[in-house]
Amino acid sequence: MKILVVGGAGYIGAHMVKWLARAGHEVIVLDNLSTGHRDAARYGSLVEGDLADEWLLDSLFKDNQFDAVMHFAAFSLVGESMVDPGKYYRNNVAATLNLLDAMVRHGVRHFVFSSTAATFGSPQSERITEAHPQQPINPYGQSKLMVERLLEDYDRAHGLKSTCLRYFNAAGADPEGELGESHNPETHLIPLVLQVASGRRDRISVFGDDYDTPDGSCIRDYIHVQDLCDAHLKALDWMRLSERSGRFNLGNGKGFSVFEVIDSVRRVTEHSIPYEVTDRRRGDPARLVADAAFAQEVLGWQTKYSDVDTMVAHAWWWEKNSIVI
């Protein structure tokens, strides 16, 4: 296939580009490099540009007969979305509309969309299935849910098939050590704890130890980025074969607490990890764990790296060996 990967220079997108290239597909990356890294997209051909540029989109679609589009380009910081919602609606919703309209104009009908567990809002059950109500509690989750909803209309009106993949906590790095997570500023737990292990940071703040969980810290479902890539390609194959749209929750099905992640980093890196317990972070639910049975059943997908020590080990290799990409 020839696939357009929008946001293919970012953390998950870059792993996807490599995954697709390894599977023998041709990949064009469209990325404005606002948060991505030029080198990270090297398994595809990079077009530097923005979804706001309709002329660029038209020429890209005219020059290439794409079989499908995967869309990873979005802002994804919950806190930032609370203080600057317009930035999130413009980029995550309005820019996505430009992309979808270009697809419709040029007859490309298969779309894989990076959605998020944040579309569910506060969890009402231990494990979250696709049937869980979607009531986002921040503009980031809201922006992703808006796209999920408008994709239903684009299917009805234009026959544009989509799969929305709701990620829980993406983690880990390319096992071959070529790619990894590199955000600036970094806000995610595993890379931050690894920065403590490598000496780039003095200590990690644990955002609250008084939650209703066994050790008092928040529990999240960390899923290896390679397992996410595997699910994306399986979702694309499923969509093209079935000619149906679908919505899938992608998680490990296992929860790990903040303290368990810190312990894992201690085990894997053999470094001490000083921490301090601070206030809870606004908007953090105590527990967020996926039920991914539907994706397993329909897509024939299984996680391969469900062990947190493996995710941490791959991310640690990246932290030690790459400062900037």
List the one residue out of 72, 63, 65, 69 whose CA is nearest residue 92.
Answer: 72
Output 189 or 312, the one with its CB closest to ligand UDP.
189
* Distance of closest approach, residue 206 Cβ to ligand UDP, in angstroms: 5
Output 32 or 116, the one with its CB closest to ligand UDP.
116
CA distance 205 to 217: 11
Which of 140, 154, 222, 305 is an active site residue?
Answer: 140
Q: Which residues pair with 45 in a beta bridge?
A: 28
Scanning the structure block, which residue is given the tokens 């049975």?
293
Q: Is residue 89 flagged as an active site residue?
A: no
Output 192 or 194, the one with its CB closest to ligand UDP.
192
CA distance 313 to 156: 44
Output 151 or 190, the one with its CB closest to ligand UDP.
190
- Interface ranges with ligand UDP (CB under 6 A): 169, 187-189, 192, 204-207, 218, 220, 258, 281, 284
CB neighbours (10 Å) of residue 229?
21
**In this structure, what DSSP letter does residue 128 have?**
B
* Distance of closest approach, residue 93 Cβ to ligand UDP, in angstroms: 20
Q: Cis before residue 185, ω within 30 degrees of 0?
A: yes
- In angstroms, the Cα distances linking 126 to 54, 69, 210 are 43, 33, 18
Residues with catalytic annotation? 140
